[in-house]
Structure formats: structure tokens, C-alpha cells
Amino acid sequence: MMQRKFITNLILLLFLNLLIKPFWILGVDLAVQKNVGVGNYGFYYAVFNFSFLFNIFLDMGITNFNNRNIAQNNHLLNKHFSSILLLKLMLGFSFIILTYIIGLLIGYNADQLKILGWMVFNQFLISFVLYLRSNISGLLLFKTDSLISVLDRFLMIIFTSILLWGNVTREAFKIEWFIYCQTAAYFVTAIIALLVVMRKSAFQKLHWNWPFFMMIVKKSFPYAVLVLLMTFYNRIDSVMIERILPENFGNEQVGIYASAYRLLDATNMIAYLFSVLLLPLFAHMISKREPVTDLVKLSFDLLFTVSVIIASICFTYSEFIMGMLYKTHIKESSEIFRLIMIGFIPISATYIFGTLLTANGNLKELNIVAGSGMILNITLNLILIPRLFAQGSAFSSLITQSLTAAIQVFIACKVFSFKFSNRFVSFHIFFVFLLMASLFFTHKFIGESIGSIIIAGIIGIILSIVFGLLPLTKVIEIVKARFISQNEQ
């Protein structure tokens, strides 16, 4: 039952996101960088990532806690929603003040502080939407959640496209306009998501309840610490590049790093969508004492196949891909791109096993792993950025992601007593080996072209089906059963 719910909703979620988000990342966002230049985009990108760092004070782990809690106890939505809504507003105000103060302390100039103000407001709106979505997905209303998940990007595409290509102004496109478009899109999405949740929760008015606030913060605090630690080792790279290197050179290096990171953002969307569906499903199954082994195996095989194929192709054809997207800094960005895309494989594993441990409440173990990852990442960045510039951050990220993912897999196997058979392990190893061999020969004898990349992707899919990593027959059966049941209703 849960496998069917996972597959059918994953297909819908992937369809909507693949329809909208790649165009946003590789069309609109890329066009913005080309219009404003690498340096100006790097300036924006560093401040953008800085605005992420202190989300602990914006959310306090409430979203993850609420998603798990509502999935296990649907009736608590009516009881908790109005109070948590007021708490979110209070935390948002505190977050904005704190982030501004830290920006001043680290020496941000007037231009940086100006756009930081808009970005922290955007972060508040993002966090607010995610909290509202946690209620929707916690109720297992995945179709509604899927539509809201792409609404903000859809609106951003419309607003930004008008300014980029609509000939509505004679001025050159400014990076500030890009930020304003994001604000408008997040605001509209927040209003719509709020109306959906209010309808489901019988909301009447905001309710001040200080003991309840303290109880929620206490229960969600471990989630908050986890979010803080993971945010630091995932988002601090570009901030450290900009702060460590000389001003103009630093912005340029951040822009190059962002160029390489853009495709990881696009592919990471796939892995993230798995976790969005898996967290409430895992939480629901664990609360009912249902075995999770089959769902873990199914989701791992699907995501492992996708991540290895994408990472291998991007590593092999890195310079060709960067050359298709950009006109400058191709060699530098392609070297960073290779390292970043290898990291997509451990990141994908984290979205499966880290989500499982979160649903099971193993926050202490996850926080120890994330804290170690943060210390390791910052230490490596301090050592490598002055020597290798942006490429040093790529090495730091790859090492950190690989080690933290390996430890999370080990903990999950120990907690849930997962055992990997020799057949399971050997099939995955042979798949990777044959895929890399086929990519080598495809690249060598066909050369670098879009056709060559398509052929490599097809070979990867065929190999995954042969080794049983992509259970195509099972997926078709699930979708067919879903279609038949809907027609009978």
C-alpha cells in the first residue's frame, strides 16, 4: 500500500517539478547570471547563501517535527495550527533581526545589507510555505502538496521572464529585480498555502499559548539543531569563498562556483522530492509498526540508479556541458562541476537514510553526524580555499558529503537491522563498473555531443533494468493498479 502511494505520488511530483524547475534553473536563473555577469551574480549568490545559515531561528525545527507529528496524529492539526502560526511569526521577526546583526558584524557593506534585507524576508516566506506544506503532506495530501511545491517557481518564471524578455523596460536587468520577483512569488504561494491549511484545520484566530510554545520549541529543538548544522555544511561554501578571498576576485570565484553548482541544484531536486514523500510515509509506517525494509530498498534503488547515471555522465562530459551553458570560465567551472556532481551520489543516500532516521526520531545520532560534518567542512574550506580557490570548496563539499552519508547509512542499518546480501552488493558494484566502462567507450569513440550523452543515459537505464535496480515492471504494475482503482471508483 505504502509502496503504491510512494510511486504514484512520486511520479506526479517528479512530473510537475521536471516540468517547471529545470526551466527555472537552466533557463531563467542562468539567463539572469548571463545578463548581470559572473561577478554581480557571485555577489548575490554569496549573500543568498548567507541568508540560509541561521534558519534555526526562523524555524526551530518546527517544520520537520510537525510533518512527522501530523503524519502520525492527524487530529493535532486543529489543536496546534493557530498557536504554531503565531510562533512562526515571532520566530520570523527574531530571525530577521539576528541575521542583520551578524551581517553587520562580519563586515557586510551597504549594498550587501540592502539585498540581505529582502533575502531574509524571502527566507521567512520560504520557511512559512514549508511549514504550511508540512501540514498538507502530514495529512498525506500529496497531490495538493505537489502543486504548491512548484507554484513559487512557476510564478518566478512568469515575473522574471517579463523583465528579462518582455521589453517592459529599457534599463539593463538588475540583480535586485531578480530578488523582487522571488519575493512576489513566495508571497502569493504563502497566501494560497495558508488558505488550503486554514480550510483543513478549521482555523479561527491566532492563539497565544506560552506553555504550548515552550513545549513545541523543546520538542522540535533537536530538529532545529540538525537543520542548523546541515545548513552550515551545505551552504557555507560560497560565503567562505567570498569572505576569505579578495573582494572582486572572491565574487568572481563565487560566480564560477555557482555556475558549477547550478546543475547540482537541478538534479538535487529529484533527491529532495524523494525525502518530501518519504518522511511522512516512514513516520506513518513506524508509528503503525509496519516494516520499512521494502520501501527503503525501492526508494534506494531508484535514487541510486538516477544519481549514479547523472553523476557519471556529468563527470565524463563536464567540459562539454559547461561549454553549452556558459561562454566564460568554462575550464574552471568544469573542474568544480566534476567534483560537485560526484557528491550527488552521497547526497542522494542522505535523502533516503537521513530521512528514515529523522522519521524514527534518531535526532541525537543525526546531530552528532551533522556537527562533525560542519566542523570538517569549515576546517577543509579554511585550508583549501586560499590554495585552490572555489575548487577547494568543491573538494571540501565532496569529502564532507561522502563521510556523513556513509555514517548515516551505517547507523540506519544498525538501528533497523538492515542486511545487505552478497547479491545485492555485487549487483550494485557491477552496475557502476559497467556503466563507467560504457561511458568511457562512448566518450572515446562517439565523442562529445548531445547524442553521445543521450546514448550514455540510455545505456545506463538498460543496465539498471538488467541488474534489477530500476524495477520497471513493478512500477508499471503499481501505476496500472492505481489507474484501474480510480476508474472503478
- Supply the pLDDT for residue 468: 86
Query: What average pLDDT does the segment 373-384 reach?
Result: 95
Find out whether 161 and 28 touch, Cβ atoms under 8 Å.
yes
Predicted confidence (pLDDT) at residue 287 exceeds the cutoff of 50: yes
pLDDT at 58: 81
> For the chain, what are the domain ranges?
2-419
pLDDT reported for residue 477: 56
- State residue 41's pLDDT score: 93
At 2, list the grid cell.
505504502
Residue 223 CB coordination number (10 Å): 25
Output the pLDDT for position 21.
80
Within 10 angstroms of residue 254's Cβ, the number of other Cβ atoms is: 32
Q: How many CB atoms lie within 10 A of CB 481?
A: 12
Distance CA 174, CA 176 (A): 5
Tens digits of residue pLDDT in 207-257: 677 787 777 777 777 877 887 788 787 889 999 999 999 978 999 999 999
Separation CA 304–CA 399 (nearest Å): 18
Q: Give per-residue pLDDT as tens, 53-99.
A: 887 778 777 776 776 666 666 666 666 677 778 888 888 888 999 99
Least confident of 12-21, 266-275, 297-306: 12-21
> Cα-Cα-Cα-Cα dihedral of 93, 94, 97, 102, to 10°?
-150
- Above pLDDT 90, what percent of the chain? 51
pLDDT of residue 8: 67
Query: What pLDDT does 3 receive?
Result: 63
Q: Span 106-110, mean pLDDT?
A: 90
Sign of CA dihedral 337, 342, 343, 348: positive
Q: Which residues contact 470 (CB under 8 A, 6 or more apart)?
A: 301, 302, 305, 461, 464
Judge whether residue 481 has pLDDT over 50.
Answer: no
> How confident is the model at residue 67, as a pLDDT?
66
Q: What is the mean pLDDT of the chain?
A: 86
- Please report, as a single letter, which amino acid is at residue 297: K
The band of 375, judged by pLDDT with boundaries at 50, 70 and 90, is very high
Task: Round to whole Å and give the CA distance between 445 and 48.
Answer: 42
Question: Confidence band (pLDDT; 50, 70, 90) for 476?
Answer: low
pLDDT at 204 over 90: no
pLDDT of residue 463: 94
Residue 309, CA distances (Å) to 302, 316, 337, 440 in order: 11, 11, 15, 13
Note the pTM of the prediction, 2 decimals: 0.79
Least confident range of 170-184, 271-285, 388-402, 453-467: 271-285
The reported pLDDT for the residue numbered 487 is 42
